[in-house]
Amino acid sequence: MNHYEKGRHTPDLQTLKRIAEELGVPLNYFFCESDQMAKFVLLFEQLSEDEKDELLTELNLKKGR
């Protein structure tokens, strides 16, 4: 893990999946480029499928303004 944190090695996708499962985070969490997006990903994953659809609809409506 230390080598990954220091950028000496990059984990392959299977390893990242196992780390994500162990930490209880979605895989895409590791690819977020900001803390704000990482927080959004964590919150979004906690929503039900209906709530996700509802939020996406709302965001699309706001974007269309």
Contact 56, 64 (CB under 8 A): no
The string of pLDDT tens digits covering residues 11-50 is: 899 999 999 999 999 999 999 999 999 999 999 999 999 9
Tell me the CATH number for domain 2-63: 1.10.260.40
Q: What share of the chain is helix, strand, coil (3-state, %, to 5)?
A: 70, 0, 30
pLDDT of residue 64: 79
pTM (predicted TM-score)? 0.74
Give the chain as a 3 state SS string: CHHHHCCCCCCCHHHHHHHHHHHCCCHHHHHCCCHHHHHHHHHHHCCCHHHHHHHHHHHHHHHCC
